[in-house]
Amino acid sequence: MFQPSQKIREATHAGSWYIGDRKQLDAQLNDFLSKAKAETIPNIKAIIGPHAGFSYSGPTAAFAYQHLVQKEGMKVFLLGPCHHTYIKGIGLSELEIYETPLGNIELDQPTIKQLSAELKKNFIFTNKEVEEEEHSLEMHLPFIYKVFPKCKLIPIMVGATTEQQDAQVASVLVKYFVDPNTVFVISSDFCHWGKSFRYTPYNKEHGEIHQSITQLDGQAIKLIESHNIPEFYKYLEDTKNTICGRHPICVLLNIINLSKLQLRTQLTKYNQSNQVTKPNDSSVSYAALVTSLI
């Protein structure tokens, strides 16, 4: 039972971006996960999943979460981008509880305080208003609670980090990553295509616009799967692909390379919100990837 004095991040997007009723939301997650059911990939260390409204991205996210296995004493590091607040480095939370319609998740404040000391100048403490406005973390909370209802959460907002900062942050996080009772969740959509996003590249050699987008995202996904951080940075610079979680992904790739673990990253699902065929159309791409011990 949580006390009134505890500092709580409310589920501000419940009832709009996803179902706010506990039973209905649980039923929807069960449906997503059952439809994504496949042979489980064991020993997952990290997943990448989307953060749009559940009606759009929930089915894709399930293709990552269905590989996670319930386990006592888990710590979940949740890394997501900042859509509304400009942060040069990392944003850490001073709150104690993150609310979901399914149940509340306790933050691991001892670990967060340790991180704040280790990250030094590369972080700020965010506040309740900033955290409640940001959806990239919240959209993963129901899935996290569903899989790890008793986990301790370490939410991290990743701002406009430099390549040097990505490496520095990764050097701090890697010791947590190698812990067998830890999993990393990276929140990211992929290409945001359309005039409203000010991003409309189209290579007709690949067919329709949506096929060109698939090819563009496919390049990024192959680089993520190969853990090729220099080429991923180059790809982002060359294509300007609007992958909103590019900074959290870069932190993860740095962690993977520093960990010295034998790891495989693979795509489990790719989708688009709309199959674009006309220049005035728009779409957002969603991908589910999992990183597992070999």
Give the pLDDT confidence of 17-62 residue by residue, as tens digits.
Answer: 999 999 999 999 999 999 999 999 999 999 999 999 999 999 999 9
The confidence score (pLDDT) of residue 3 equals 52
* Averaged pLDDT for residues 262-274: 98
Instruction: Give the mean pLDDT of the chain.
Output: 96
The confidence score (pLDDT) of residue 84 equals 87
Q: Is the pLDDT of residue 119 over 80?
A: yes
The confidence score (pLDDT) of residue 6 equals 61
Find out whether 279 and 197 touch, Cβ atoms under 8 Å.
Answer: no
pLDDT in tens, 211-236: 999 999 999 999 999 999 999 999 99
Query: ∠143-289-241 over CA atoms, to 5°?
Result: 110
The confidence score (pLDDT) of residue 91 equals 96
Q: Using 50, 70 and 90 to split pLDDT, how confident is the model at 1?
A: very low
Residue range 15-293 forms a domain whose CATH class is: alpha beta
The confidence score (pLDDT) of residue 5 equals 52
DSSP state of 39: S
Q: Is the pLDDT of residue 210 over 70?
A: yes
Q: Using 50, 70 and 90 to split pLDDT, how confident is the model at 176?
A: very high
Max CA distance (Å), the chain: 60
Q: Is the pLDDT of residue 289 over 90?
A: yes
Find out whether 267 and 49 touch, Cβ atoms under 8 Å.
Answer: no
| 119-123, 186-190, 193-197, 258-262: least confidently modelled range | 119-123
Q: Is the pLDDT of residue 71 over 90?
A: no
Write down the pTM of the prediction: 0.96
Task: Please state the separation of Cα 2 from the chain's center in Å.
Answer: 27
The domain locations on the chain are 15-293
Q: Is the pLDDT of residue 102 over 70?
A: yes
The confidence score (pLDDT) of residue 12 equals 97
The confidence score (pLDDT) of residue 70 equals 87
Q: What percent of the chain has pLDDT over 90?
A: 95
Q: Is the pLDDT of residue 139 over 60?
A: yes
3-state DSSP assignment of residue 276: coil
Give the tokens for residue 203.
Answer: 């290579």
CA-closest candidate to residue 132, choices 201, 83, 67: 83
Could you tell me where the beta strands, DSSP code E, fall in 72-180? 75-81, 90-92, 97-98, 105-107, 123-125, 152-158
